[in-house]
Amino acid sequence: MDYSRVIQIAVESLGAHKLRTFLTMLGVIIGVAAVIAMLSIGEGAEKEALKEIEVLGINNIIVNARVPGQAPGSTEGFQRSSGLSLADGENIARFTGLVANVVPQRFEPIATISHGSNEAAVRVVATFPRFIYSSSIEVDYGRFIIESDNKTFAQVCVLGAKAKRSLFAFANPIGQSVRIEELDFIVVGVMADKYIGRGKVEGLELKNFNEDVYIPYNTAQKKFDRFEPVISGTPWMVIATEDEKAYNVPEVDQLTVTVADLKNVGVVSKLVERVLRRRHGGVEDFEIIVPESLLRQSQKTQRIFNIVMGAIAGLSLLVGGIGIMNIMLATVLERTREIGVRRAVGATRDDIMRQFLIEAVTICLLGCSVGVVLGLIISQVISYYAGWPTIVSIFSIVLSIGVSMAVGIVFGLFPAHKAAKINVIDALRYE
């Protein structure tokens, strides 16, 4: 059988009823476009979540200081714990086989810094030189804090990319001074710009690291008062109850624990929790965040989202398939005499069946082609107007084409089989 001729006949047959063919394809077009758009949204969201979690460090465990829960009027629990401290970090760092690095940080309650008449909204982070080894952020130019800065209580700072742009625009800030409260700090480095995205993953608010300004820990400890510790980015003493004010001010606001081997992240997180519970007398004045667990949860959520959206899009293809079956049954009825003539001149039942099956598949493939183009356009429109990242993968296109062909075969099989079973004599008599 000459398949090129069969396909030509199928296209000519479909072209003879353009409106009907288009309406038949509409379900397939909408279904394929929905599959492409939904999967592109899911893929984009997954990639963005991965980027955001990578900022925290996939091998890291984040320990934040927080105000502990306590029964009203009781301060006994507060008094048992001195809060998150350098000593906590030193105890965790003793597990050398499991822990590669522990970095204390304290966030100074300083909202803005200035250079001349320019101001920048920042988060001032007091930390140690080894912070750079646990962070995904790199120094763009200049240098980071070094040991001698801490030993000499040097008034030096490293600017985040956004802070640098706000204060110095396109000028080189190295060697320039910035005002932090009443003190002048010399800029020794600038951090590379880091993509933050929406800044929220699985309910966790991510800070914009481009707004951070890093200073030596010892300098902050000596020269800045510690009356308003920052818990999760907000000075907690501003809204603290009388009971909470009895809570000892934590020495540090955050510990970043870098695990030597990714496979041990779960084990080390439990170990860190046990160490801190013991050292803090059972007081819940700390919070442990595991980025690797957040990533797994985000991927699980995304998979569920993709399945649900895929099922919804699949319903459109199902409806489109039913429409194709209905139209093909009507077409068989219309072309009963044609079937009889073709059988009379030598066409076999298999030839008739192939003819109608190819027509059904052709409708689906034409609808799929239009649907893919429409899906790509919808993805770009969503990305542009909604600000939602979308990534169209080859898999989603191949999946759409494969499903469309399957729909054409499955829903075209019955009409094609019915056409092949028509009696030749009855077909020739049919008017």
CA 69 to chain centre: 32
| Per-residue confidence band for 245, with pLDDT thresholds at 50, 70 and 90 | low
DSSP assignment letter at 59: T
Which is more confidently placed, 291 or 88? 88
pLDDT for res 358: 82
Per-residue pLDDT for 72 more than 60?
Answer: no
Q: What is the pLDDT of residues 412-430, one digit of tens each?
A: 888 888 888 887 776 676 6
Please check the confidence at residue 239 and state whether its pLDDT lies above 50: no
pLDDT digits (tens, 9 = 90+) for 89-125: 999 999 988 999 999 999 988 888 999 899 999 999 9
| pLDDT at residue 214 tops 90 | yes
Strand partners, 180: 183
**How confident is the model at residue 409, as a pLDDT?**
84
d(Cα 360, Cα 11) in Å, to the nearest integer? 10
How many other CB atoms are found less than 10 A from the CB of residue 115? 21
Going by C-alpha positions, the residue among 141, 156, 151, 137 that lies closest to residue 206 is 137
Of residues 415 and 185, more confidently modeled: 185
Mean of pLDDT values over 211-233: 77
pLDDT of residue 189: 95
50 neighbors 42 (Cβ within 8 angstroms): no
Structure tokens at 307: 């399945």
Among the residue ranges 66-70, 124-128, 289-293, the one predicted with the least confidence is 66-70
413: amino acid identity, one letter: L
Number of Cβ within a 10 Å radius of residue 79: 12
Q: What's the pLDDT band for 199 if we cut at 50, 70, 90?
A: low
What residues does each domain of the chain span? 3-53+297-429, 58-291
Pairing, β 204-205 against β 112-115: unpaired
**HEC-encoded secondary structure of 102-169:** EEEEEEECCCEEEECCEEEECEEEEECCCHHHHCCCCEEEECCCCHHHHHCCCCEEEECHHHHHHHHC
Q: Comparing C-alpha atoms, which of 135, 144, 190 is closest to residue 164? A: 190
Interatomic CA distance for residues 366 and 18, integer angstroms: 12
